[in-house]
């Protein structure tokens, strides 16, 4: 029987730096840290656009927490600090990460404290074996660090139920590896890979940034909340188990957490965890993780579109094989379809995404979104009329063309102005004092 339980601290974020320091010290988070160590900080910047002032509440790690982390590391005699993140679908795009680092204040941390900021996509990677005989390519700077400071956001996720410390580390692998994680293999799937993503990492401290939390994440079309919480643990799995409970989800129903716990020989009921600080019963609040779809003989679309009356569109609900780069367009396509609805049923247009879906017979047209869908179903006998938007991710112009040929007239301007879309969603919080831009600035 285990005598010493795994420590997790849960504190209210009430004061810059001091609240963060309390969370770290209460769980013994820096007990393995020594002066002179090389430390890698991994925030969560799941999305960025240069086209609008992008409010980030619940989507991106607050700059306040990143600065708190740097200040505490400096107090512990750490001078070699790297902040690294891989943001964009196009590894050749260096301007967007640079814009993010500048506007989130990371460059000020470089000027003041010598912190290095790196675009993971432009850094060297190292191939690491995975248990199933496959390999993933991890950022070399992370692997060669002496200590990892994992700073995810407290959010639910439409594919993995929650996105916390383990899921955040998916951002340390290269683009090909990220796509590989969204495998159609029922055993070696997204949840399998996430449950093992921390295996090659150095000793770590996870601090989940819950100043803002997010429902139906991981992106800006979810629902943001002001939660003012920090969850910290020297064990990534322990932090995630507690974070899942705070989000109102039973960890046994979060597949990657259940897999990780089983590998470690640990229960998922938190019985081997000692939580200090806030009572989980008092702070747990259910965060929906998914968008509900309505399916009947008239179509299959998200509930909001069904309420609008859309008929004749069978936009099959995405699964966990749809990778980040296609999912970034998914919400936009649905928004465009909603605007295209004029009250007359469409001709049974089926839309398929990801890597597993197969066409249904009897459809008027089948749209294959993305290279994976095209490769899988290009010769499928159930397709009456095949329309394709190939590419990884697919070209927005090809998406518009495919839908237009199916009789759904999408507004091409929406796709030309896609970088403006986050501002539209974030404008809901413009006059709410709880949603404060200062948390994403470093003065």
Q: What is the pLDDT of residues 239-297, one digit of tens each?
A: 999 999 999 999 999 999 999 999 999 999 999 999 999 999 999 999 999 888 999 99
Residues 176 and 91 placed together within one structural domain of the fold = yes
Average pLDDT, the chain: 92
Measured distance CA(221)–CA(244) in Å, rounded: 21
Give the pLDDT confidence of 198-235 residue by residue, as tens digits.
Answer: 999 999 999 999 999 999 888 878 889 999 999 999 99
Same domain, yes or no: 248 and 347: no
Query: 58 and 182 in one domain?
Result: yes
DSSP category for residue 316: P
376/330: higher pLDDT: 376
195: pLDDT confidence band, cut at 50, 70 and 90? very high
Regarding whether 227 and 332 lie in a shared domain, the answer is no
Residue carrying the six token digits 């600080």: 277
Euclidean distance between CA atoms 24 and 72, whole angstroms: 9
Same-domain status, 44 and 133: yes
**52 in the same domain as 32:** yes
Peptide bond preceding 34: is omega within 30 degrees of 0, i.e. cis? no
Respond yes or no on whether the N-terminal peptide bond of residue 393 is cis (omega within 30° of 0): yes
103 part of a folded domain:
yes
In a domain, 430, yes or no: no
Domain carrying residue 343: 293-424
Clarify whether residues 299 and 223 are in a common domain.
no
82-99: pLDDT as tens digits: 999 988 667 778 888 888
Span of 57-66, 72-81, 316-325 with lowest mean pLDDT: 316-325
Please count the structural domains in the chain.
Answer: 2
- Other Cβ atoms less than 10 A from the Cβ of 413: the count is 10
Of 270, 289, 308, the position where a domain reaches its end is 289
The residue behind tokens 């897999």 is 259
What end-to-end distance do the CA atoms of the chain give, in Å? 50
Percent with pLDDT over 70 in the chain: 98
Q: Residue 54: which pLDDT band, with cuts at 50, 70 and 90?
A: low
Q: Is the pLDDT of residue 2 over 50?
A: no
| Domain CATH code at residue 240 | 3.40.50.11440
30-43: pLDDT as tens digits? 999 999 999 999 99
**Claim to verify: residue 260 and residue 322 sit in the same structural domain:** no
User: Which of the listed residues 235, 263, 289 is the one where a domain comes to its end?
Assistant: 289
pTM, rounded to two decimals:
0.94
Angle subtended at Cα 178 by Cα 176 and Cα 184, rounded to the nearest 5 degrees: 95
């Amino acid at each position: 029987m285990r005598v010493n339980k795994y420590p997790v601290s849960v504190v209210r974020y009430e004061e810059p730096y001091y609240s963060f320091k309390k969370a770290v010290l209460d769980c013994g988070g820096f007990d393995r840290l020594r002066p002179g160590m090389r430390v890698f900080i991994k925030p969560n910047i799941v999305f960025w656009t240069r086209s609008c002032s992008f409010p980030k509440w619940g989507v991106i790690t607050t700059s306040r927490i990143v600065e708190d982390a740097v200040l505490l590391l400096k107090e512990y005699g750490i001078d070699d600090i790297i902040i690294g993140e891989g943001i964009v679908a196009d590894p050749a795009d260096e301007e967007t990460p640079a814009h993010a680092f500048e506007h989130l204040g990371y460059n000020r941390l470089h000027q003041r404290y010598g912190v290095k900021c790196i675009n993971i996509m432009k850094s060297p990677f190292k191939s690491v074996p995975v248990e199933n005989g496959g390999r993933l390519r991890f950022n070399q700077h992370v692997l060669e660090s002496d200590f990892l400071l994992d700073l995810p956001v407290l959010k639910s996720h439409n594919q993995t139920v929650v996105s916390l410390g383990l899921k955040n580390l998916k951002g340390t692998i290269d683009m090909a590896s990220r796509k590989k994680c969204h495998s159609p293999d029922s055993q070696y799937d997204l949840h399998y890979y996430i449950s093992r993503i921390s295996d090659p990492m150095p000793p770590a401290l996870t601090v989940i940034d819950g100043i803002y939390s997010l429902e139906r994440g991981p992106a800006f079309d979810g629902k943001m909340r002001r939660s003012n919480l920090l969850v910290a643990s020297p064990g990534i799995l322990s932090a995630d188990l507690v974070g899942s409970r705070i989000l109102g989800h039973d960890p046994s129903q979060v597949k990657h957490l259940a897999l990780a716990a089983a590998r470690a020989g640990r229960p998922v009921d938190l019985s081997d965890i000692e939580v200090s600080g806030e009572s989980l019963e008092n702070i747990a609040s259910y965060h929906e993780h998914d968008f509900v779809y309505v399916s009947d003989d008239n179509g299959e679309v998200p509930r909001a579109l069904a309420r609008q009356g859309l008929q004749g569109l069978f936009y099959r609900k995405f699964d966990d094989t749809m990778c980040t780069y296609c999912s970034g367009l998914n919400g936009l396509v649905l928004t465009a379809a909603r605007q295209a609805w004029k009250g007359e049923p469409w001709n049974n247009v089926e839309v398929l995404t990801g890597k597993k879906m197969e066409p249904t017979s009897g459809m008027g047209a089948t749209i294959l979104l993305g290279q994976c869908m095209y490769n899988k179903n290009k010769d499928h006998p159930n397709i009456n009329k095949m329309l394709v938007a190939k590419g990884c991710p697919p070209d927005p112009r090809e998406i518009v063309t495919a839908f237009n040929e199916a009789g759904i007239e999408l507004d091409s301007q929406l796709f030309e102005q896609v970088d403006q879309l986050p501002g539209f969603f974030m404008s809901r919080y413009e006059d709410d004092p709880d949603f404060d831009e200062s948390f994403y600035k470093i003065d």
